[in-house]
Structures are given as structure tokens and as C-alpha cells.
Amino acid sequence: METGFFQWRTQLIRIIRVTDCTALGALYKFRHRIYVAELGWLSDIGGVLVDQFDESAANYAAYNDGGEIIGSIRVNYDGSLGLPLERRFPLNVYRYGKHLAEVSRFAVSSDYRGSSRAGALLMKAAYQRCVASGISHMLADTYIGGDAPSQLYEKMGFERIGGPYSDPEYNCELPVFTLALDINKAHTVLPVERPGLWRFFTSIDPDIDHG
């Protein structure tokens, strides 16, 4: 029997896909606070963290019961711009025959990191968004070690593609890996090997609003 794949304190957390300008502006400020002010991974870029990939992305924010943003994630669809991680990790032939999307800007406030539902719910929202959009493979790049969310990716069945590399845009000495989740494979393996995890990620959740 599988037990304890997630452990968190009970809190009211809502995940909402944000589309209006005001909500998106608040989300971009939250990202800046985490990536720049708290972690120091990026240099100050004017108080918001937004790029050309946000316009076509599905952006989600996690809110606590006070209406404060405490987490973020986005789903970037493969298109004319490619995917954000390709700036450092060319996909080349890996793309052939696949419908790709990248999970990026995954961040949780330090007060909620590791002990709340926020991170798991954000990833669940992104996963469900990819499935509903017909994506065959979810990609992510992440640091291995430190406070990186690599354990959550690995629990879901993400696998490393390629070796470690550095990203000069980020002020972090940890190695970066590109990870991929074959969604069709996950639909076969997870119900058998990790049924609790499978039920969590595939169940309808009243705390997630896909918009």
C-alpha cells in the first residue's frame, strides 16, 4: 500500500488560472519577490518577472485564505517561440512526434514551502492543463539539490533527458537538468505503482479553477 506521498498541514489554498491584467500583474510581482528578492537567482528587473512566453502561457496562482498569492506556475505550449528551456537546452530531434509543453516559473512562498498543499496543487493544475490540451510530454528544467522541487517531479515520474548544464542567466551554482514526463506512460505506470499519487493528480479538485 502506498502512503505518505505528500505530507502537509491543512490550509485553505486555492489555485486559479489568472488571465486579467490586474491578477497577472500581481503574479509577476510575486515571481519577482521569490526569484529576485528571496532566492537571488535573478538580477533586479524592474519589480516584475515577465517575459515573451507569458503572453501565450496558461498562468496559475496559488492563493491563501487571505487572498494573498503564495505560489505560481505556468504552462508554456510549444510554438513559434519554442519553449523557454530551449534557450539553454536545445531539444533538437527530441521534439519529433511529440506534443510538448513546459512547466516553468514554479515557485512557492517560503512560509508555505514543503509543509502545505500549494506546490502539489500547482503541479496538479499544470498536469491537468497539459492533459486537457492533448500534450504528450511535459518538460521542466530544475536545479538538483537545495530547495529545488526535483523530488516532486521525480514522484510524478519525470525523467532526466541529457546531462547537467549551467544557466548563466541565473545566479545559482547548482546543476540544472531538463526533465520530461511521458504522459501516456504515466497513465499506464502510476495507477499500478503509485495509485495514491495517480488519484491525486487525476481527481477533480474544487480548490483548482482552470478558468
- The strand ranges marked E within 127-210 are 137-143, 159-165, 176-182, 208-209
Is 165 part of a structural domain of the chain?
A: yes
d(CA 82, CA 105): 16
Which residue, 137, 143, 135, is CA-closest to 157? 137
Share of the chain above pLDDT 90, in %: 65
Give the CATH number of the domain where residue 81 resides. Answer: 3.40.630.30
Q: Write down the pLDDT at residue 145.
A: 63
Q: Domain tally for the chain?
A: 1
More confident residue, 177 or 26: 26
Q: Tens digits of per-residue pLDDT, 151-184?
A: 778 878 899 998 888 888 888 777 888 999 999 9
Confirm if 79 and 97 have CB atoms less than 8 A apart: no
pLDDT at 75 over 50: yes
Evaluate whether residue 4 is within a structural domain: no
The confidence score (pLDDT) of residue 53 equals 95
Per-residue pLDDT at 1:
31
**For residue 149, what pLDDT is reported?**
59
CA 67 to chain centroid, in Å, comes to 21
Q: In terms of residue numbers, what domain contains 109?
A: 14-208
Classify residue 7: in a domain, yes or no: no
The string of pLDDT tens digits covering residues 192-211 is 998 998 999 999 999 999 99
Output the pLDDT for position 121.
Answer: 94
Question: Would 3 be classed as within a structural domain?
Answer: no
**38-42, 133-137, 159-163, 193-197: segment of lowest average pLDDT:** 38-42
Provide the whole-model pTM.
0.90
For residue 5, the model assigns a pLDDT of: 43
* Residue 5, in any domain of the structure: no
Q: What is the DSSP letter of 54?
A: G
Higher pLDDT, 87 or 29: 29
Residue 24 belongs to a domain: yes
Task: Work out the pLDDT band at 147, boundaries 50, 70, 90.
Answer: low
Domain presence at residue 67: yes
> Residue 150 half-sphere exposure, CB side, CA atoms within 13 Å?
16
Q: Is residue 37 part of a domain?
A: yes
Measured from the Cβ of residue 94, the count of other Cβ atoms closer than 10 Å reads: 16
The residue-averaged pLDDT of 96-104 equals 96
Higher pLDDT, 28 or 88: 28
